[in-house]
């Protein structure tokens, strides 16, 4: 598969837009059929998908690939198949007093051609869930997967070509330069998943074309632990969230805020939880994922070295493999906000621990930083939990757990501020990729006649009633 040129990109977009205008929006039967074909092709290539992911990462847990890539993808498609008919139905709306003889409703119509830019960390689900959403919404789509996962991108291309004609869905490949040209296309909507820095560039390019955008970004997602809460319960679930995909997850717990009296208990319990989940060598473990490439591996080891140089206590929970980019989990204590590890999203199996004395202090710490994509609270104190949720702003929240909010098909998924704009998944995805078209049908009685003789006094009475 050769990389696309700017001319190729414009040609594909023009072809899809012409086909959309010519054929009009697909009906419910066609949308469901398209989604079922996509699901069938994914299931048929399940083994190939797992192998492609292992090729790109060098070491990728097969179990994780099934749990965090394939299961959410298939469940999401099933959910769309079951509910898209309801989402497509016109929604009756209220008619104002002057116009009671008419009717008003809203129709969700597809916007046209959607551009989708997918990241490398979950290259299957984060490419094909947005694609399935675009199809459910009645759109056509151009898909640009990450250049950092070439084997997986090539396989996704095969899936797309086996399922859809090119005038309906096309996949294009290329490096960052191609990605920049892709984001500059005059799409009818663009959906980007990736870093905040690149998301800003995508938003800027989309703005030049007045293209609406859904940006799924990242950020430093905190874990707040209630004083005295069961540390065994916390540590097992934080370890699950932090070590899934070796921490290369946009909603991974980025750092922990624990009461100063509980820090050492948490640190001990977390180490035990990590060793229980991964009892052997990380470099040889079939259930532990490598860091994608040398660049990201060096970035993470640099964050650890910087923290150590600035006084952090570094607790290494296993041995690394520089050659295969396997980074064993690391726990950082005595962390300060000035350290590099607290200045950027970690995106790896490194967990800084900070302490607080009061919940207000923890809330102030979170609010002093960009709004996170996820927020995690562990505790049974409903008053403190509600206070934290009311006084902070973030993307989604999981209480007494990590990551699992993303697996709820009926919840929107998205960030706010630096962690994203807009949301998708489920109905919110359908809404994001459609236009709410308001329709008013006037009845036989012409309301405008109320403004004319001989209805002057009646008009005045109605006006005074409305404006009182």
> Strand order in 222-225's β-sheet?
313-316, 330-333, 350-356, 255-259, 222-225, 374-378, 396-399
Sign of CA dihedral 383, 342, 333, 260: negative
Q: Which two tokens stand for residue 297?
A: 């591996």
Distance of CA 8 to the CA centre of its chain: 28
Sequence-separated (6 or more) residues with CB below 8 Å from residue 74: 39, 42, 43
* Mode of pairing for the β-strands spanning 374-378 and 212-216: unpaired
323 belongs to the catalytic site:
no
Strand partners, 313: 333
Phi/psi for 95 (5° steps) reads: -110, 130
d(CA 336, CA 404): 29
Sequence-separated (6 or more) residues with CB below 8 Å from residue 456: none
Whether residue 147 contacts residue 153, with contact meaning beta carbons closer than 8 Å, is answered with yes
Whether residue 411 contacts residue 426, with contact meaning beta carbons closer than 8 Å, is answered with yes
Q: What is the DSSP letter of 370?
A: P
48 belongs to the catalytic site:
no
Question: Helix crossing, 46-57 with 150-163: angle to 10°?
Answer: 150
Distances from the Cα of 90 to the Cα of 99, 103, 133, 427, angstroms: 20, 12, 19, 14
Say which of 69, 250, 345, 428 is annotated catalytic: 250
Say which of 216, 226, 345, 428 is annotated catalytic: 216
d(CA 129, CA 143): 11
Catalytic residues: 216, 250
């Amino acid at each position: 598969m050769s990389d696309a040129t700017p001319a190729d990109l414009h040609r594909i977009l023009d072809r899809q837009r012409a086909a959309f205008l010519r054929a009009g929006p697909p009906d419910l039967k066609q949308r469901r059929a398209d989604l079922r074909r996509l699901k069938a092709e994914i299931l048929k290539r399940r083994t190939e998908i797992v192998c492609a992911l292992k090729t790109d990462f060098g070491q990728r847990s097969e179990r994780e690939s099934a749990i965090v890539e394939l299961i959410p993808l298939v469940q999401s498609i099933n959910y769309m198949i079951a509910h898209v008919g309801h989402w497509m139905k016109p929604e009756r709306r209220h008619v104002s007093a002057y116009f009671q003889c008419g009717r008003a409703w809203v129709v969700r119509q597809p916007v046209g051609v959607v551009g989708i830019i997918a990241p490398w960390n979950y290259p299957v689900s984060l490419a094909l869930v947005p694609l399935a959403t675009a199809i459910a919404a009645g759109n056509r789509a151009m898909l640009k997967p990450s250049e950092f996962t070439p084997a997986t991108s090539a396989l996704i291309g095969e899936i797309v070509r086996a399922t859809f004609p090119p005038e309906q869905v096309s996949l294009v490949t290329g490096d960052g330069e191609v990605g920049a040209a892709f984001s500059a296309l005059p799409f009818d909507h663009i959906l980007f998943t990736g870093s905040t820095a690149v998301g800003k560039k995508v938003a800027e390019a989309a703005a030049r074309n007045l293209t609406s955008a859904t940006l799924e970004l990242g950020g430093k997602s905190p874990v707040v632990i209630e004083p005295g809460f069961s540390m065994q319960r916390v540590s097992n679930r934080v370890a699950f969230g932090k070590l899934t995909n070796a921490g290369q997850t946009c909603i991974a717990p980025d750092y922990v805020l624990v009461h100063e009296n509980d820090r050492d208990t948490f640190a001990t319990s977390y180490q035990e939880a990590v060793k229980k989940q991964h009892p052997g060598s990380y470099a040889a473990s079939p259930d532990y994922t490598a860091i994608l490439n040398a660049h990201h591996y060096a970035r993470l080891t640099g964050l650890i070295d910087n923290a150590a140089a600035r006084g952090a206590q570094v607790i290494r929970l296993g041995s690394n493999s520089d050659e295969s980019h396997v980074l064993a989990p690391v726990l950082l204590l005595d962390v300060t906000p000035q350290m590099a590890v607290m200045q950027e999203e970690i995106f790896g199996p490194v967990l800084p621990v900070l302490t607080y004395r009061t919940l207000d202090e923890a809330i102030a710490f979170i609010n002093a930083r960009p709004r996170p994509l996820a927020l995690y609270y562990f505790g049974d104190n409903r008053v403190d939990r509600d206070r934290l949720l009311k006084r902070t702003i973030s993307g989604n929240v999981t209480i007494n757990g990590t990551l699992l909010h993303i697996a709820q098909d009926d919840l929107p998924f998205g960030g706010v501020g630096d962690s994203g704009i807009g949301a998708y998944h489920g109905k919110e995805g359908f809404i994001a990729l459609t236009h709410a078209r308001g329709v008013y049908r006037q009845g036989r009685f012409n309301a405008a006649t109320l403004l004319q003789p001989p209805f002057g006094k009646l008009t005045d009475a109605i006006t005074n009633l409305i404006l009182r």
